[in-house]
Every structure is written in structure tokens, then in C-alpha cells.
Chain A
Amino acid sequence: MAGKPKLYYFNGRGKMESVRWLLAAAGVEFEEEFLETQEQYEKLLQGGSLLFQQVPMVEIDGMKMVQTRAILSYIAAKYNLYGKDLKERALIDMYVGGTDDLMGFIMMFPFLSAEDKEKQRATIVQKATSRYFPAYEKILKDHGQNFLVGGSFSWADVHLLEAILMVEEKKSDVLSGFPQLQAFKARISSIPTIKKFLEPGSQRKPLPDDKYVETVRRVLRMYYDVKAN
């Protein structure tokens, strides 16, 4: 047994990607087991490893943690990426909630029909540029610091960078009205652990493709249509 956290998920981004980002940002090495077949999933279920019968699941510190938010909070706290007190924690939780909502629009994207994809792309860009990016732009502008909360690198910074890059994949010039976010992106990307994660060969996962969608549908027997929101 390695002692490293072990991630159980599909070989793709989905809900596990934020966990990969945060562990990488914290400089924590981790292992991954990729779900490819229904049998693997059934085995996890039968073995009682999945509290609510769902992945993501992360084996960490003797626990089989599920629920993405719970996993991320635990990692953030353990590796001192959660602020120095209750109020900084509150700010981090608020900011992460926003980027979580934004990335939620993107997460279902691969499962949509071609027509719905175009509509959803527009929705993602609209929400990013009119609701979320302005909020973070203002936060950075108002305090003039390098990081979102308390002058210190935190989970909120990692999550925001992840969200920015994901939206840029949908529209490459989406940051054009947001100078603070552009500088933020450059700054955070050059933090050594993050820089490493952004290089080829890291455990960062690429944009989901048809193979990923097919694997998820097959393993979860998710053959219904997913609607855009």
C-alpha cells in the first residue's frame, strides 16, 4: 500500500478533475484506478466502497471518501489551502461555489446533442462573462492582491484557474474584457506545482471525447438524454 491517495473514476475529467487539480496544486502525488467496465463498477458497489453508490471516490487517510465537495474540503484543509480562519474559509467557500456552478454548466456538455451543445456553449460564455468573471475581476481589483483570499494561495485560486481554462476551451478570447483575470491566470499558472500539472504527461485529463462519453454511459447505464440547462 502506497499511502498515496487513490482516485476511482473514469479516465476523464468529470467531477474528479477538480480533485486532481487540488492534489496537484498541493504537491500531493496520487494514484488512479479508471472505471472502464460495468463489472469494475459493480465490484466497487458490491464491496461497499461507494457510500451513495457513486463515484468520485477517493481513498485517503484510511477513508473511502465520496461526494466531491467533501473530498475537496478535506484536501484543502489538510494541505492548508483553506484560509487561516472561519471568515477566510467563508470567502473561499463562496468563491468555490461560484466556480463550481460555472463548471457545472460545462460538465454536462459532452453528453448533449450537437444542437444543444451550441446552445450550451452560448450559455456557458454568457454566464462566465456576465455573472462569474465580473465577480472575480472585482474581487482582485478591489484588494489588489495576488490571490483571491487573505493574500495567500488557496483552493479558491486553484478552482478559479481550472474554471478559466475550461471556459477558454469553449471560447479562446473569453478573458478579453478581464485584465485582472488575465494576470491572475498567468500568475497562478506559473506556480511550480501548477505549472507541472499543466505540462504534458501530467495526470490532468484532456477535453472529453466520444470515447469518454461512451464509457460513462456504458458503465453507469446512463442511456437517457441529458438536457441542457
Chain B
Amino acid sequence: MSGKPKLHYFNGRGRMESIRWLLAAAGVEFEECFLEAKDDLVKLQKDGSLLFQQVPMVEIDGMKMVQTKAILSYIAGKYNLYGKDLKERALIDMYVEGMIDLNELLMVHTFQPAEKKEQHFATLVDKATNRYFPVFEKVLKDHGQDFLVGNQFSRADVQLLETLLTAEEFKPDILAKFPLLQSFKARTSNIPTIKKFLQPGSQRKPPLQEKDVEKVMKIFH
């Protein structure tokens, strides 16, 4: 047993990707066990490994943790990426929850039926550029600091970078009106642990292709 956290999920982004990002940002090595078919999920369900019969599941510090938010909070708390006090934590939580809402929209886009895709794309771009990005642009503008909260690198910065990069995959010029988010992106991408995660060969997963949607649906449905 290696002592490294072990991630159980399918070989793709989904709900596990934010966890990969956070572990990588914290400089924590981790292993992955990929579900390839429904049987793999059933096996985990039957051996009592999944508290609510669902993945993501992360084996870490003797626990079999489920629930993405719980896992992320634990990792952030453990590796000092959660601010220095209750109020900074509150800000981080608010920002992160907003980013998760946007991320959710991005994540489900690939699964939209063909006739709804165009509308969904428009919604996603609208929400990103009118609801979420302006908030973080303003946060950075108002305090003029490098990081979102408390002048210190935190999970909020990691989550924001992930979200910005994912949004750009949908629309490459989506940050056009957000100069501070652009410089945030450049700056944060250069943090050594993050820079390493962004290089080819890391455990970062590529976007889900149309052709893989069916395979993923079969595991979970």
C-alpha cells in the first residue's frame, strides 16, 4: 500500500477532475483506478466502498471518501489551501460554489441531446460572461492582489483556473473582456505544481469526446 490517495472514477474529467487539480496544485502524488464498464462500478457498490453507491470515491488517510465537495474540502483543509480563518473560508466557499455551478453547466454540455446543444451553449456563454466572470474580475480589481482571497494561494485560485481553461475550450475568446482574469490565468498557470499539471503526460484528463459519451453513460446507467 503506497499511502498515496487513490482515486476511483472513469478515465475522464467528470466530477473527479477538480479533485485531480487540487491534489496536483498541492503537490500531492495520487493513483487512479479507472472504471471501464458497469461491472467495475457494481463491484465497488457491492463491497461497501461507496457510501451512497456513487463515485467519485477517494481513498485517503484511511477513509473511503465520497461526495466531491467533501473530498475537495478535506484536501484543501489538509494542505492549507482554505484560507487562514473562518471569514476567509467563507469567501473561498462562496467563490468556489459559484465556480462549481458554472463548471456543472460546462460539464453537462457534452451530454445534451443534439437539438438542445445550441441553446445550451448560448446559456453557458451567457452565464460565464455575464454572471460569473464579472464577479471574479471585480474581486481581483478591487484588491489588486495576485490571489482571490487573503493574498494567499487557495483552492479558490485552483478552481478558478480550471474553470477558465475549461470555458476557453468551449469558446477560445471567452476571456476577451476580462483582462484581470487573463493575467490571473497566466500567473496561476506558472505556479510550479500547476505548470507541471498542465504539461502533457500529467494526470489531467482531456475533454470528453462525443464518441466516449455512450461508454460513460453505460457505466452509470
By a beta-carbon cutoff of 8 Å, the part of chain A in contact with chain B is 51-53, 61, 63, 65-70, 73-74, 77-78, 86-87, 89-90, 93-94, 96-98, 101, 131-132, 135
Q: Are A90 and B97 in contact (CB under 8 A)?
A: no
Bound-complex Cα distance A65 to B92 (A): 11
Residues of B within 8 A of A101 (CB): 52
What are 24 A-to-B residue pairs whose CB atoms are below 8 Å?
A: A51-B98, A52-B98, A52-B101, A52-B131, A63-B90, A65-B90, A65-B94, A70-B96, A73-B90, A74-B86, A74-B93, A77-B89, A86-B78, A89-B74, A90-B70, A93-B70, A93-B73, A93-B74, A94-B66, A94-B67, A94-B70, A97-B66, A97-B68, A135-B52
Shortest Cβ distance from residue A113 to the other chain B in the assembled complex, whole angstroms: 19
Contact with A along B182-221 (1 / 0, CB 8 A): 0000000000000000000000000000000000000000
Residues of B within 8 A of A74 (CB): 86, 89-90, 93
Shortest Cβ distance from residue B123 to the other chain A in the assembled complex, whole angstroms: 11
Chain B residues 35-93 with CB under 8 Å of chain A are 51-53, 61, 63, 65-70, 73-74, 77-78, 86-87, 89-90, 93
Residues of A within 8 A of B52 (CB): 97-98, 101, 131-132, 135
- Apart from A51-B135, A74-B93, A94-B70: 13 A-B pairs, beta carbons within 8 A: A65-B90, A66-B94, A69-B69, A69-B93, A73-B93, A86-B78, A89-B74, A93-B67, A93-B74, A94-B66, A97-B69, A131-B53, A132-B52
Residue pairs across A and B with CB atoms within 8 Å: the count is 78
Residues of B within 8 A of A68 (CB): 97
B132 CB-CB contact with A under 8 Å: yes
Q: Are B90 and A94 in contact (CB under 8 A)?
A: no
Knowing A90-B70, A94-B65, A97-B70 touch, does A69 contact B89 (C-beta < 8 A)?
no
The number of chain B residues touching the other chain, given as a range, is 20 to 34
Shortest Cβ distance from residue B32 to the other chain A in the assembled complex, whole angstroms: 20
Residues of A within 8 A of B93 (CB): 67, 69-70, 73-74
Bound-complex Cα distance A101 to B53 (A): 13
Residues of B within 8 A of A52 (CB): 98, 101, 131-132, 135
Q: Are A63 and B65 in contact (CB under 8 A)?
A: no
By a beta-carbon cutoff of 8 Å, the part of chain B in contact with chain A is 51-53, 61, 63, 65-70, 73-74, 77-78, 86-87, 89-90, 93-94, 96-98, 101, 131-132, 135
Bound-complex Cα distance A191 to B77 (A): 31
Bound-complex Cα distance A97 to B69 (A): 8
Bound-complex Cα distance A132 to B52 (A): 6
Residues of B within 8 A of A94 (CB): 51, 65-67, 70
Q: Are A67 and B53 in contact (CB under 8 A)?
A: no
Q: Which 3 pairs across A and B sit closest by C-beta, in order of nearness? A: A97-B67, A93-B70, A70-B93
Q: Are A90 and B63 in contact (CB under 8 A)?
A: yes
Bound-complex Cα distance A135 to B49 (A): 11
Shortest Cβ distance from residue A56 to the other chain B in the assembled complex, whole angstroms: 11
Bound-complex Cα distance A51 to B139 (A): 11
Residues of A within 8 A of B69 (CB): 69, 93, 97
Bound-complex Cα distance A89 to B65 (A): 12
Bound-complex Cα distance A38 to B68 (A): 35
Bound-complex Cα distance A93 to B82 (A): 15
Residues of B within 8 A of A135 (CB): 51-52
